[in-house]
Amino acid sequence: MGARKYRKKYSEEKQIRDMSSSLSAAVRGRDAETILSFYSDEVVYYDVRDALRTNKEGIKASWQECFASSREFGYDVQDIQVRCEEKTAFSFCLSHSTGTTNDGDAIDIWLRVTTCFKKEDELWLIIHEHVSVPGDLLTGKILPNLKPRKMWLL
């Protein structure tokens, strides 16, 4: 499966939306190898975690740590917007991570995700992704309890 499935089957926008759905399913299935298949080897990844930027190996390590530290892990994408050109595309969305850590703590956080794609040999791959949590600039603290307002979800 993975990214290879999306060669020339649908409109460009539908391909990106379907990739996003399949990537989300791979996250819910805790399938790090399938997750990685959507990313270019040259990806630049701005993770919400402990590095300002990372690469494909960092993405793999981050997901493996996430899966190893949780009993249950849910992941859903909402309000995805997609813009496509011939060889480049980008999407932005809200993602909702839920579940339970191995220590029994609840996971319930909304993230903002912007993804840039490049078409190479008729195959869309992620070349850049930026994942963030809203923060309060005055206190320097993240705001993990924010929930999207209904009016913003399309």
- Which residue, chain included where needed, has tokens 């859903």? 76
Q: Which residues pair with 91 in a beta bridge?
A: 82, 115
**Cα–Cα dist 133/96, whole Å:** 11
Instruction: Please give the pLDDT value at position 114.
Output: 98
pLDDT in tens, 71-120: 999 999 999 999 999 899 999 999 999 999 999 999 999 999 999 999 98
Instruction: Please give the pLDDT value at position 2.
Output: 60
Q: Tell me: domain 2-152, CATH 3.10.450.50, correct? A: yes
**Cα–Cα dist 3/39, whole Å:** 8
Phi/psi for 102 (5° steps) reads -65, -25
What string of H, E and C letters represents the secondary structure of the chain? CHHHHHCCCCCHHHHHHHHHHHHHHHHHCCCHHHHHCCEEEEEEEECCCCCCCECHHHHHHHHHHHHHCEEEEEEEEEEEEEEECCCEEEEEEEEEEEEEECCCCEEEEEEEEEEEEEEECCEEEEEEEEEECCEECCCCEECCCCCCCHHHCC
Average of per-residue pLDDT across 122-147? 91
Average of per-residue pLDDT across 31-60? 94
Instruction: Please give the pLDDT value at position 54.
Output: 94
Instruction: Please give the pLDDT value at position 151.
Output: 47
Name the percent of the chain lying above pLDDT 90. Answer: 73
Question: In the structure encoding, which two tokens stand for residue 143, read together?
Answer: 């705001």
pLDDT higher than threshold 80 for residue 152: no
